[in-house]
Each structure stands twice: as C-alpha cells, then as structure tokens.
Amino acid sequence: MAFTAAVLFGIGTYLVLQRKLSRLIIGLGLIGHGANIVFVTATRRGTPPLIGSSDPDSFADPLPQSLVLTAIVISFGVTALLLALAYRSWLLTRDDEVQDDVDDRTIGHDSHDTEVSDAGAAELASLVEEVDRR
C-alpha cells in the first residue's frame, strides 16, 4: 500500500506541475487519494468500536477514518471549484492552459518597467485588452 500511495503522490505531483487545468485537477485528485491511502494504512485494525460488542483494546481507531471522510469532502469541494474555474477559462479562451499573468511576471522580475519582453505575455496583454473593450 505504501508503494501505491507513493505512485499516486508522484504522478499527482507531476500532473500538478503541468500548465493545463485538466491535468492539474486530476493531479490534485490523485494526491488526495494518496493521502487517503496513507491515513487508512496508518491505522490499527480491529473490531468496530461498539461498546459492549467486544474488548475495548481490540477496537479499531476511528480517528483516521474520520480524517479520511473529511479529506474526501474537502477534495470534492476543491475539485468542484477547480472544475468551475476550468469551465470559465474554457469559455473565455477556448483552451485550458494556464496563462502567465503580465503583472505577476513584472513583479517577479523586480522591474518597475511596464514593458514586457516576452511574446507570450504581450499576446496575453492584447487578449486582456480585447476582453476589456467588450
């Protein structure tokens, strides 16, 4: 099970580092599944924790199970949000590739100059201006 979790984490991390939103969504899902596997395998096995059914020392630990349920709910919410963002991005650009933000690139280069030297960023700036004019 540890190998399976490691493979899920590895593939998920690779996909999160891609520029496509669809790959990012799948990558986050795989990372969430890997975390759930780690939680489930980290618990001790035992009988269901029902009082009076058996010896309390043989009860299964319910905390990892509740953490997994919480992680499933949170990952569902994050996936729904990312799918909504990807759909909105698809409606605007007809592509799910994450574009560079011109302002972030300017700040990243510690430049107070508003001139952008990258052709892709200039294309993005013209696309933003075109959308603003509508």
How much is the pLDDT for 117? Answer: 56
75-88: b (≥16 Cβ within 10 Å) or e: beeeeeebeeebee
| Distance separating alpha carbons of residues 56 and 44, to the nearest angstrom | 13
In three-state secondary structure terms, 97 is strand
pLDDT digits (tens, 9 = 90+) for 103-114: 777 777 665 554
Give the CATH architecture of domain 2-98. Answer: Orthogonal Bundle (1.10)
Is this model's pTM higher than 0.75 or not?
A: no
pLDDT grade for 128, boundaries at 50, 70 and 90: confident
Domain ranges, ordered by start, for the chain: 2-98, 100-134
